Structure 1
Amino acid sequence: MKMKARAAGALFLVSTAAFLIGSGMLDPILHRTDLLAGMDADRTNVFAGVFLELINAIAVVGIAMLLHPVLKKYNEAFASGYFGSRILESALLIMSLIGPLVLLALSDQAVSAGTSGDSYLQTVGHLAVDAHFMLFEMAMIVLGVGSLLFCYILYRSRLVPRWLSVVGFIGYAGLLASSCLSIVGLDSGTVLFIPGAIFEIVLPVWLIVKGFHLRTEERRRP
């Protein structure tokens, strides 16, 4: 059981690192006013960013698979809900990566046609970027809902200290609120992400170092 906890903790850290680096490479490109200009020079960054965000999406599934056997012992319905939410989150994240790849294709088309400022191609490019960010926010909503179930199981089972579960509750509620606001066009800033960021750093470190806190009778099971 401790090996699964450590593996899940490691995947949490891989997921977080891959997402932060990948989005850090993609976001400046996707937020440019003239999306297609200079895209060819950014091709390496786009592919690297997409690859890292794909790693994040794959790690999310790995986390779900490792945690489900543990969580279902305490609340099978909520454990299944968390498992399903992470699978759906991964699918939405992978779909969102189509947007940056569409931009590369449009850039090639614009360069070959000699019309890098063509309004039609720019419009399609902006739609691809909007779809990318919309799918990402939908993935974060799914993550927020599913992870509230996850934190509930952690809180009731005491698999980790209750204060850590509470930080998770606050963090994922903030993420859920922020993503809902973003979908309707409102910017909540970064403050709502702080508790969730703390949780997703402290929890994996805790799992790697200490694992889950199991009751005596559970430790005796094979």
Structure 2
Amino acid sequence: MGSTRRTAIVAGVLFLVTEVAAIGGLALYRPVLHDTGYVLGSGADTQVFLGALCEFVLALAVTGTGAALYPVLRKRNEGAAIGYVCGRLLEAAVIVVGIINVLSVVTLRRQAEGAASADGSSLVTAGQALVAFHDWTFLFGPNFVLGANTLVLAGLMYTSRLIPRWIAVLGLVGGTMICASATAVLFGVYEQVSAAGSLAALPVFAWEVTLAVRLLAKGFDAGADAA
């Protein structure tokens, strides 16, 4: 097995890991993100910790995709390849900041549980502020930055013909739609976690899964620099 084929397999596995970890993290975070009184309740701390672990795996896999693909991408366009690696690092960093904020809510709940005279309204306000911080990191990391990274990678794949162009076009559409959706959320057109937001995220999800399957099954196209 050649080094390029190994790169394709590693990148394909990592893209699948990002999808599973992202969905798992969002589902497991549900109690802390949607319960405004979480800091005053009994909590679902173990579930939240598992969600944080999923998100940490997500951050590692996001970084890994950039590192794995760099040797192949730099032969086509070194500047864009470096930009993609840096973009993935930024995306992972923003995800980690979001993890810290969610875990801080758990810490706040445990401190309130052990305090004899805690100000409930102040604790709820502090918890909501931390959740809001997480929501903003989610908007800018796995939405804006993800969209930009997708456009860079799909553009490179399209021009170099490393994969069939229809797959690259799916990435270009997905990156554009997730950025447009994030902009709509930023200006209050609809909520981040909503039917509209989920529909806008489907093309980029389809792109990453399709790309992963392609890389695992067949790798990069031979003679990619031709034409």
With structure 2 as the length reference, what TM-score do the two structures score? Answer: 0.90
Match for residue 195 of structure 1 among 203, 212, 223: 203
Deviations 1:123-154 (Å, cap 9, x if unpaired)? 11111001001011111211211220111110
Partner of 1:126: 128
Match of 2:59 among 43, 57, 60: 57
Where does residue 11 of structure 2 map in the other structure? Answer: 8
Whole-Å separation in 2 of the counterparts to 1:152 and 1:72: 13
**2:101 aligned to 89, 93, 99, which one?**
99
- The correspondence of residues 201-216 of structure 1 with structure 2, limited to 5 A, is 201-215=209-223
Contact 2:91 2:145 in 1 (8 A): yes
How far 1:27 moved relative to its partner?
A: 2.6
Q: Distance in 1 between matches of 2:120 and 2:189?
A: 30
The one-character-per-residue Cα deviations of 1:82-134 (angstroms, maximum 9, x if unpaired) are 11100000011001101111111111121122456711111111110010010
Q: Distance in 2 between matches of 1:133 and 1:87?
A: 19
Instruction: Please identify, of 168-177 and 208-217, the stretch whose mean Cα deviation from structure 2 is larger.
Output: 208-217
The letter for the 1-side match of 2:34 is H
Q: Post-superposition shift, 1:23?
A: 1.1
| Cα displacement (A) at 1:74 | 1.0
Conserved 8 A contact 2:161-2:225: no
Cα distance between partner residues in 2 of 1:157 and 1:206: 16
Q: Distance in 2 between matches of 1:95 and 1:29?
A: 16
- Give the deviation of 1:216 after TM superposition: 7.9
> What is the alpha-carbon distance in structure 2 between the residues aligned to residue 63 and residue 203 of structure 1?
12
Q: Which consecutive residues of structure 1, in runs of 5 or more, have no partner in the other structure?
A: none
Q: Using a 3 Å threshold, how does the CA distance of structure 1 residues 19 and 116 change in structure 2: closer, same or farther?
A: farther
What secondary structure, in the 3-state scheme, does the structure 2 residue paired with 1:36 have? helix
2:137 to 135, 141, 155: 135
Q: Unpaired segments of 5 or more residues in structure 2? A: 191-195
Which is worse superposed, 2-11 or 24-33? Answer: 24-33
> Match of 1:97, SS?
helix
Q: How many residue pairs are counted as aligned between the two chains? A: 217
- RMSD, matched Cα: 1.7
Q: Which amino acid aligns with 1:55?
A: V
